[in-house]
Amino acid sequence: MHTKAIRLSKNGGPEVLEYVDVEVGEPGPGEARVRQHAIGVNFIDVYFRTGLYPMPLPSGLGQEGAGVVEAVGEGVSHVKPGDRVAYAGRPNGAYSQLRVMPADILVKLPDDISYETAAAGMLQGMTVWYLFNRTHQLKAGETVLFHAAAGGVGLIACQWARAIGANLIGTAGSNEKVELAKAHGAAHVINYNTEDIVQRVMEITNGAKVPVVYDSVGKDTFTRSLDCLQPLGLMVSFGNSSGAVPPFSLGELASRGSLFITRPSLGAYVATRTELEAAAGDLFQMISSGKVKIEVNQRFALADAAQAHIALESRKTTGSTVLLP
């Protein structure tokens, strides 16, 4: 059967994204065919499009979506036709009306959570889940620094930290974004275009600095992030929206007080079915309870995926962005 999808045959700017007809067949062993109702747009999609993260071409794009199972292949028992499902993870190919995909990344979607909420929240929400539960166990009363606090991951992190009772110091690039992060639960927000991040962190913490920095910005913030850490502090570098972190000397960690550093990604934390169910279950519970609201602030037609990328890369977006097939 025919369906519409976004494909790219070469790396480059948003213009390489093509809206084309593709053929979708029956699911093979371990696969499911899903008719999508909403598709998440994330910065990782930009990295694959530009070639920062290499992938074989031609290819689809996108790692997150929600919809209804139409058919399942041999050996698939955890979902069945008619089930509402959501997913986040490889392989790329979410930018499509219909797709045949590995069934092992699908989780059942509770009835009280919409397709848009799930498509916008799975990747970003499970990212916050592992950052605050696995990479570092965030505790009530703890003060941490979180860059890009008004972005998709950031707004979820602000709310999640508030629910835990932790003090999240956010950074953002405009006064509007500062207010947005505060409204979502950040204890303090630093405007990195008008304020010195390290100096403000010193002031907020009375010179103590923070035990953990969560940094998805990369190149532009890396050194300042290290400078905000207490001795034995943890640098969590989980993205690079400003570009990849350049090579650095391990001595930089020693001179700042025996710092730890990790470069995590979601896949390693939800590698088993048990881990995936736990992560998604905790996320759905946070959403259903009202403690975390997924803010879908931008919607684009699937055909306009290139426009969604332009908006994301120009830092014009807040919260989450979805494509509607």
Task: For 167-217, write each residue's pLDDT tens digit.
Answer: 999 999 999 999 999 999 999 999 999 999 999 999 999 999 999 999 999
Q: pTM above the 0.85 mark?
A: yes
- Which amino acid is located at 27 in the chain? P
Q: Are 283 and 293 in contact (CB under 8 A)?
A: no
In DSSP notation, 152-200 reads HHHHHHHHHHHHHT-EEEEEESSHHHHHHHHHTT-SEEEETTTS-HHHH
Going along the chain from its start, the domains and CATH numbers come out as: 2-122+284-324 (3.90.180.10), 140-263 (3.40.50.720)
- pLDDT for 103-157, tens place per residue? 999 999 999 999 999 999 999 999 999 999 999 999 999 999 999 999 889 999 9
In 10 A of CB 163, how many CB atoms? 16
Average pLDDT over residues 248-273: 96
Query: In this predicted structure, what is the pLDDT of residue 316?
Result: 82
- Residues paired with residue 3 on neighbouring β-strands, in sequence order: 22
Cα separation, 168 vs 181, in Å, equals: 10
- 302 exposed, middle or buried (CB, 10 Å; 0-12, 13-18, 19+)? buried
Residue by residue, DSSP assigns 123-147 as: HHHHHHHHIIIIIS---TT-EEEES
Distance CA 32, CA 87 (A): 12
Per-residue model confidence (pLDDT) at position 109 = 97
Place of tokens 């993870």: 89
Question: What's the chain's average pLDDT?
Answer: 96
pLDDT in tens, 237-250: 998 888 889 999 99
Per-residue pLDDT reduced to its tens digit, 63-89: 999 999 999 999 999 999 999 999 999
